[in-house]
């Protein structure tokens, strides 16, 4: 059956950009999101205003959609699995399961033959002491679930740092301790796999974070071809292992010798791939829509060097200046209130 309507769980800016890409291919979109008039619904064909795990809303989404996808990884796995009984769900719910829990994720990535930081499960203060001792007193402690943009983390940079009460301070929830990776830079790769198993990779982007939030993606990344190839190989292994359909983002640390250490995967279009809308023939958003709708993948080639910069909080005030700059594509998300740390839009500057 050919796809006419795509259901999207989640109504943020990623859903918005997916809906816009879908419209260009004559595909309709319906957004499931509890917040009315959300960024995605402003440009989609319809919105179901309900919680992501509301059974009636999910049944309605399945009824009106030929395929369902999602724009964030914290969609309840049970909701995705229930939906998948009546309508194709891409990426597969297994991808959600893997990316929702950092311990499951790191184990999965390592089992794909990809290098990760050393890691240990931490379920008590005693676990933390033992794991820190094993890692020489340094490491990054993270919540296993629901952490993003550096939230729910504690960095131990020196063995002298106090560990007292840390487990409780992070909420007494299951944690993971990772060894501290002495990275030179951070890169990510955006890749897509279609229903036939064909894979297309974008060029790796170099990412700069500020206060734990992505600030800038730079193309080309300052890595050599061997490192870029390692990133592509890793993405391919992950996509194949998951029997994946759609776009994925994989983040890596780059070591001084060019070696890669995988940090995390995002089973969706990714902030570090926004530049593709300005500098590639087919953007990550169209690529995802093509994959989930059962179309052939598009050409991921990059035709220009570029820099993508997020507009966060008050950065929205710079929009008039960006609009006046030659070579700059401005993309705003339809959010009315510019709270600190809130992603309001992004710009991509083409460099020549």
Q: Does 341 bind ligand AMP (CB under 6 A)?
A: no
Q: 3-state DSSP: the chain helix, strand, coil percent, rounded to 5?
A: 30, 30, 40
Window of 6-14, 161-169, 176-184, 240-248 that interacts with ligand AMP by CB under 6 A: 176-184
Among 3, 68, 95, 117, binds ligand AMP (CB under 6 A): 117
3-state secondary structure (DSSP) of residue 66: coil
Decide: 289 and 230 in contact? Cβ < 8 Å.
Answer: no
Among 24, 157, 209, 303, binds ligand AMP (CB under 6 A): 209
Closest CB to ligand AMP among residues 150, 197: 150
Closest CB to ligand AMP among residues 7, 147: 147
Window of 30-38, 84-92, 162-170, 174-182 that interacts with ligand AMP by CB under 6 A: 174-182
CB of 349 to ligand AMP, least distance (A): 22
Residue for token digits 């340094």? 138
Q: Does 140 bind ligand AMP (CB under 6 A)?
A: yes
3-state secondary structure (DSSP) of residue 332: strand
The reply to whether 264 sits in an annotated binding site is: yes
Helix 284-293 vs helix 13-24: angle between axes, to the nearest 10 degrees? 70
The reply to whether 142 sits in an annotated binding site is: yes
Q: Does 134 bind ligand AMP (CB under 6 A)?
A: no
Q: Does 73 bind ligand AMP (CB under 6 A)?
A: no
Among 128, 170, 181, 191, binds ligand AMP (CB under 6 A): 181
Closest CB to ligand AMP among residues 113, 150: 150
- Residues contacting residue 31 through CB under 8 Å, at least 6 positions apart: 8, 10, 11, 15, 19, 38, 40, 41, 44, 46, 47, 48
Among 73, 97, 178, 277, binds ligand AMP (CB under 6 A): 178
The reply to whether 270 sits in an annotated binding site is: no
Q: Does 264 bind ligand AMP (CB under 6 A)?
A: yes
Among 113, 212, 243, 327, binds ligand AMP (CB under 6 A): 212
Q: Does 203 bind ligand AMP (CB under 6 A)?
A: no
CB of 159 to ligand AMP, least distance (A): 16
Window of 32-40, 173-181, 233-241, 289-297 that interacts with ligand AMP by CB under 6 A: 173-181
Q: How many CB atoms lie within 10 A of CB 329?
A: 17
CB of 272 to ligand AMP, least distance (A): 11
Count the site residues for ligand AMP by CB under 6 A. Answer: 12
Strands, DSSP E only, in 66-117?
67-70
Among 143, 166, 263, 271, binds ligand AMP (CB under 6 A): 263
Q: Does 238 bind ligand AMP (CB under 6 A)?
A: no
Query: CB pairs under 8 A, 24+ apart, for 349-352?
Result: 349/306, 349/307, 349/308, 349/309, 349/325, 350/278, 350/279, 350/304, 350/305, 350/306, 351/304, 351/305, 351/306, 351/307, 351/327, 352/304, 352/305, 352/327
3-state secondary structure (DSSP) of residue 118: coil
- Omega of the bond prior to 220 within 30 degrees of 0, cis? yes
Cα separation, 42 vs 35, in Å, equals 11
Cα separation, 18 vs 65, in Å, equals 15
DSSP 146: S
Q: Which residues are annotated as a binding site for ATP?
A: 102, 142, 147-153, 178-181, 186, 209, 263-264
Q: By CB under 6 A, name the binding residues for ligand AMP.
A: 117, 140, 147, 150, 178, 180-181, 186, 209, 212, 263-264
Q: Which residues are annotated as a binding site?
A: 102, 142, 147-153, 178-181, 186, 209, 263-264
């Amino acid at each position: 059956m050919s796809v006419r309507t795509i259901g999207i769980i989640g109504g943020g800016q990623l859903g918005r950009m997916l809906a816009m890409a879908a419209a260009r291919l004559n595909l309709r979109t319906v957004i499931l999101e509890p917040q009315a008039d959300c960024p995605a619904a402003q440009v989609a064909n319809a919105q179901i205003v309900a919680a992501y795990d509301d059974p009636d809303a999910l049944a309605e989404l399945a009824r009106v959609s030929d395929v369902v996808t999602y724009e964030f990884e914290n969609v309840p796995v049970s909701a995705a699995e229930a939906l998948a009984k009546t309508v194709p769900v891409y990426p597969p719910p297994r991808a959600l399961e893997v990316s929702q829990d950092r311990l499951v994720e790191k184990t999965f990535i390592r089992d794909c033959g990809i290098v990760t930081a050393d890691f240990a499960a931490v379920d008590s203060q005693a676990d933390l002491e033992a794991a820190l001792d094993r890692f020489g007193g340094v490491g990054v402690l993270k919540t296993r679930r629901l952490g993003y943009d550096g939230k729910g983390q504690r960095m131990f940079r020196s063995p002298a740092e106090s560990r007292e009460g840390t487990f409780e301070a992070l909420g007494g929830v299951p944690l993971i301790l990772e060894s501290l990776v002495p990275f030179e830079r951070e890169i990510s790769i955006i890749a897509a796999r279609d229903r036939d198993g064909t894979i297309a990779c974008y060029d790796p982007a170099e990412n700069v974070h500020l206060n734990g939030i992505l600030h800038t993606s730079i193309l080309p990344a300052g890595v050599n071809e061997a490192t870029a190839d390692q990133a592509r190989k890793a993405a391919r292994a992950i996509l194949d292992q998951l029997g994946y359909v759609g776009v994925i983002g994989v983040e890596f640390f780059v070591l001084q010798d060019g070696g890669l250490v995988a940090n995390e995967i995002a089973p969706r279009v990714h902030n570090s791939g926004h530049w593709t809308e300005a500098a590639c023939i087919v953007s990550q958003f169209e690529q995802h829509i093509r994959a989930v709708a059962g179309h052939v993948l598009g050409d991921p080639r990059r035709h220009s060097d570029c820099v993508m910069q997020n507009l966060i909080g008050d950065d929205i005030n710079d929009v008039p200046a960006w609009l006046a700059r030659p070579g700059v594509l401005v993309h705003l998300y339809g959010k009315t209130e510019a709270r600190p740390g809130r992603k309001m839009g992004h710009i991509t500057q083409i460099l020549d």
